[in-house]
Structure 1
Amino acid sequence: MADFYERLGVGRDATADELQRAYRKLARQYHPDINKDPGAEEKFKQVSEAYDVLSDPDQRKRYDAFGDDFRRVPPDVDPETWARAQRAGGAGRAASGGRAGASQGAWGGSAGPGGWSGGWSEADGDVDLEDLLGGMFGGRRGWGPIPGADQEVGFDLSVPEAYWGGHRRLTISGPDGGRTVEVTIPAGVTDGQRIRLAGQGGQGSGDAPAGDLYLVAHLVGDRRYRVEGRDIYVDLPVSPSEAALGARVALETPGGEVKLRVPGGTSSGKRLRLKGRGLGAKRNPGDLYAEVRIVLPDKLSDEEQRLYEQLAAATTFDPRRQR
């Protein structure tokens, strides 16, 4: 199993924000709807699995402690006990000299309808199971009920839906058919943000609790809005006279229509910032940027033609000499 940190391209001391940024970058790169390479879907699944584990504090702690074995080590086994068992297993294998059929110490087991069964196989009688585990299983040699696995499902969201939030009914497909879940989308949800539905993931065995379901928001852009992180970008068409003389113009934003002042002498490409009208939590929202686009009519009237000719004759302005 490839190291989860390596899959995301981060160090083992990466913060939660660093993990999220790395995941979002790789998810966009390998998402099957964007990347049509044959191996992109598998890469996307690997990246998603790594982020799902490392973004959960409890799972990350177990992964750091037990490595690739973190899913099969019972919750009540501490890292030091596990390390002692691994050392004892290594000693048993060394003592056997690799002989065919020699007894070797190892952890093992298998999952079945009643949960996980298995445990420690002693190496030539040198390892005492009860002494090693200190009776932590209450004298039983079984793992007991196993909690259900967490699940992660992506869903598409328009920019206005992300801005306002609301309620959605989503159909989640699975091996036993589809099921419908109700989800409350928080206002200002950003691309890649995970919404947790506790206890709606995979079913546990026996009396163990179910896992959690994580819904990952994928913002879908349109011709009006572009999103970068928490910031929203929208085009603002203006006439030549509005750009030259200044004007107050109406602008449609995800939060509704606003009146925006365009300063005189505004050129195409200039960004006018509306602070706090982007996405994100209310205490730390992004901004909305209106990008000015000077638009001319397809056909000038006779009067417009005459006035533009007068302006051309009167002006000394040369845009190609401006820096």
Structure 2
Amino acid sequence: MSRTPTPTATVGDDHWAVLGLSPGADAAELKRGFRAQARRWHPDLNGNDPVAEERFKRVNEAYAVLSDPRRRQAWESGLDPGSLRGERADPFATGFPEFDDYLDALFGRQARPDDRRSPEPDPAYDPPESSRRSESAQRPPAAQFRQGPGVEVTHAPPPPPPVQAASDLETLVELSPEQALDGTRLELELPGGLAVELWTPPLAGDGWRLRLAGVAPGGADHFLQLRVRRPDGLRIDGLRVLYDLELSPAEAALGCKVVVPTLEGRVQLTVPPCSSSGRLLRLRGLGLSQGERRGDQLVELRIVLPEQLNDSEVALYRRLEELSGDG
């Protein structure tokens, strides 16, 4: 299963979109949007999300550009705002600070011993309406949360739960040879209740995997593994028909005649002497047909040993080993 590349910051990033803002938002909206996105993507709050670190860096870069008039003007003019950042070191070169410590350093707030018990009010933060309604239903009147004359503490909404690491899912889909040949319409209900409708590609084969990108929980992919087999062991791959033929070591070494199934009935096949596992024998014209095109049937030889050997068989194999060594 292939992964979508992790997004990284580039000169062409839309910094407004990264912060969830419309172009031209004022300073208060800029700060509010930054706080919301920084909390959402801070690595400490998204320990299981493999892209949180890069998303958080993009949020930091977007705020750094839009809050600096010179860098913002350069970016809006299509220039690289990174050339104006000076010699400032990478703030994340040695890891990510705690979320509250990071905001304190960024906004120039002074830490106080009782910060944990008395959070500092942020006049630029305005919680969503749904958050205000839920908080007002659970807390005493706001007057009990006042901190000093005329100052009211506004509590930020709780952080989102950690995003679980995405894992791809797979579903087995059985098709008839005719459905695989022409393509067929599928209606499937995936785990989680998601209903999908799709057409399989024509000339599909047994073992093919179709990728449904981003439909699994956590944004993972869901794969459909196609199974195109008949009860007699024939497998379909486009116009070709595949069949695995098991032989004993003696049959493979000496050669033999065997009967194998085909789409048109059973036929006799001659196995040449000294045939090894993996050898392919072709039955021309016994595959599927589409218009004037007709495929072949390929028979792959597989040498199979019995689970146990009796004393006579062991003696014969030892003698065979001796003869092979003498040569």
TM-score between the two structures when normalised by the length of structure 1: 0.32
Structure with the larger strand share: 1
Q: Which has the larger radius of gyration?
A: 2
TM-score between the two structures when normalised by the length of structure 2: 0.32
